Copies of this chain bind each other. A is one copy, B any other.
Amino acid sequence: MKTETTVHGLAASLQTARSTKKLIGFVPTMGNLHEGHLSLVREAKKICDVVVVSIFVNPTQFGPNEDFENYPRSWEQDSQLLVDVGCDIIFAPPVEQIYTTQPVITRIQVTEITEILCGLSRPGHFDGVALIVTKLFNIVQPHYAFFGQKDFQQVAVVKQLVQDLNLSVEIIASATIRAEDGLALSSRNGYLNDQERAIAPTIYQSLRQAEQALHTGTILTEVLEGIRISLLEAGFSVDYVEAFTPHLKPVQSTDTEVVLFVAAKLGTTRLIDNLHVKLMTA
């Protein structure tokens, strides 16, 4: 496994692969890798010849009061995990390799689908995501890029970006990887103390109960309220509990699938999760 820290170095490392038409797979990460990331690398290994994993804590996707400075960095451990899982190249650039001019004067905004959910709670977040993803895609020029469905809205933004900017990469979204108790894996889980960690699975449990309720005919608004109450009772402060279609449109009475979305805080730690539910049709 090679590690590259510069754009030119990465290009050089990929040159042979590119000229011999190897399929290049790309897993963008902010490091602090967990089984969710590793499952994406395994997925990439299945269909690609060369797998690049980027580790880059992207400043532009953090708000001014968010956890950029404290976001967990764990280079030694990440590096070992990536060797073990068969990653070919780690791309771990310093900030100034990616943002050569400060301040960054180009913005990319995917509108509409970012004006809900985390787009409302984290102003500018998806602009930062759109910019870094576009940059990294142009730097790595992969055939496939892999994202986790835990960040459902992010996947939607990235797919929209690929379509709207004619980026020549195919986006593969993989199922959320969960702890045994159902908690969606996330680097931010590391912020939780023992007590919070014990409460955290309530998010997924309440989503699954909601699915059951929808299947037994409870109306959507009542189901969402049920999730909210479960979370509040467990000690969360709730950011949002909402439902949209899989294309992030408002749910209509004729829809046969919905995605339930939750963002909630335990102490200062913000957790998100979602569940894609097929509705029973009459």
Contacts and interface: CB of A to CB of B under 8 A. Distances in A.
A166 B111 contact: no
A105 interface: yes
A106 B164 contact: yes
Interface in A152-207: 160-161, 163-168
B112 A105 contact: yes
A134 interface: yes
A192 to B, nearest CB: 35
Nearest to A164: B106
Count of this chain's copies in the oligomeric assembly: 2
A163 B141 CA distance: 16
A7 interface: yes
A108 interface: yes
A235 B143 CA distance: 56
Interface in A218-247: none
A214 interface: no
A48 interface: no
Interface residues of A, number: 30
Given A106-B108, A109-B109, A7 B160 contact: no
A104 B166 contact: no
B105 A160 contact: yes
A46 to B, nearest CB: 25
Given A109-B109, A161-B106, A166 B101 contact: no
Contacts of A134: 165-166
A32 to B, nearest CB: 24
A16 to B, nearest CB: 14
B160 A106 contact: yes
Interface string A128-141: 00110011001101
B101 A105 contact: no
Contact of A108 (B107, B139, B163): B107
A113 interface: yes
B166 A7 contact: yes
Contacts of A106: 108-111, 130, 160-161, 164-165
Contacts of A105: 110-113, 160, 164
Interface of A: 7, 19, 21, 100-101, 104-113, 130-131, 134-135, 138-139, 141, 160-161, 163-168
18 contacts: A7-B166, A100-B163, A101-B163, A101-B164, A106-B109, A106-B160, A106-B164, A106-B165, A107-B108, A107-B109, A107-B111, A108-B165, A131-B164, A131-B165, A134-B166, A135-B164, A135-B165, A139-B166
- Nearest first, the 3 closest Cβ-Cβ pairs linking A and B are A106-B164, A138-B166, A107-B109
